[in-house]
Chain A
Amino acid sequence: MSAAPHLVISGVSKRFGAATVLDRVDLTIRRGELVTLLGPSGCGKTTLLRAIAGLAPPDGGTIALAGRDVTHVPPHRRNVGVVFQSYALFPHLTVAGNVAFGLKVRGAPKAEIDRAVERALSLVKLGHLGSRRISALSGGQQQRVALARAIAVEPDVLLFDEALSALDRKLREEMQVELRRLLQEVKATAIFVTHDQDEALTMSDRVAVMNKGRIEQLAEPRELYARPASLFALNFVGLSTRIAGQVVGGSNGTVEVVTPVGRLSARGAFQPGASVIVATRPEQLRLGTGDGANSAAGRVRSVVFQGSRTLVDVDAGAGASLLAELSGREAELPRVHDEVRFAWPVAETFAFAAEAS
């Protein structure tokens, strides 16, 4: 992975009527990087992908791909590959015909087309199905053909628009791993659009969490999970315990917050009196009081066994609840209605400004 910027999006905006769908988005992607645009529907992630593909030119800002300003270049002269949610395979062509389409349009010589088609189909493990009709394929196979078709033209960037969402869960999880390996093998630069956090964490080198037409946080999956930059990012990726409170003091990047479950310390910088949400990840919670740690008590509301882990939901009173994830090796798991006390490290506790809503 070289450090040279490969795709540079700066200040890209898009409006549909009165609605701002993209609000001055900046994003720089390196060659060979796999980046996911993650967010709820309507956050602008698909619009951004379509802007990169040239299917929906932005109203403002610029997009540069492989050192060339492509902001106003039509899609057919951009050299991008798109895998659509519906796959958009051409029903009147065979599997090989679909994969060859891009090269044929570019007027490549027949021998070269045949080689590229064979290579692309063997990459997606469909080498034996070239002469099949599209309608004779399963959903998973169609997905692979769509991928082969996009790869065959050796695009500067591969774009995936919810490309795995039509597959059933088991197949989707297999494809995530296989796709990541395959993309790394051909050294592709790729952008995925998805609302599935597992897909984002599995597939990408970096994840851009999008909300209301903006990128809220751009980070590696591990960092995104451990250090969410906003309440939205915290909520969208992974589970968390969230308790509302008021800041009463603090220093050195740590604030003291009064909450219904007691006084808690959290990372963050707020003025006294500010309304904040104090949050932590479920696996940080441990049974007991802990030394110099945050802690809170309550009555167990539910215990959900999930194989390698067990989720414990605790009613901490005054509308607050704690969510703890305990590993299967825990000596003794609490039962419903038990009175328990949990503790968690201050370093893993975050304070976010409470949203007006």
Chain B
Amino acid sequence: MIRIATLAPLDPTDTVALVKSLRATFGLGTEHVGDLRLPRGGAKDGSWDAIALLGAAGPVLAVADDKVLFIAGAPLTLAAGPLGDPPCWGFAQYGGGRAIISLANLPERGVTEASIESWRRRLAREAVHVVGHLWDLHHCYDARCAMHPSWSPHLGPTPDSSLCTFCREKSERKIRLAKT
């Protein structure tokens, strides 16, 4: 089961669309468990270390193999690596149970139907991406796959939220082998 907890206000229609997308992609039950308060802390500019925020976010009732997805409005950062700090759209405990995405990097939601639809698609894509990491999926080289890195220059302007064949089969295998 995938449980979505929001740390920032999200339009109910957007939430419904996101639930539908996740359920269609992974074939798992998905629900919105409610709004949580953003914990205190974070940097002065309002950004959060993604790993710290994931640990500090409020508890969500979940059973074994449940995946919890947090949606934050604050920009997220990651620790610097050997070549610098990569852009952060979200973070997931690889093979674990918790993941978080930020709305800060998404394009403007806008007011037109097309822009809202585009925004929802991108939100769904990022959600599928981090939940895929929770099911042991690595990044994929296929730019049409949702597991392609979010910052990749090969990514189209409105990327799809579906998985490529390899990633879909791998995630299905992992889901089948899950204890519950």
Q: Do A and B belong to a common assembly?
A: no
Using CB atoms and an 8 Å cutoff, list the residues of chain B in contact with chain A: none
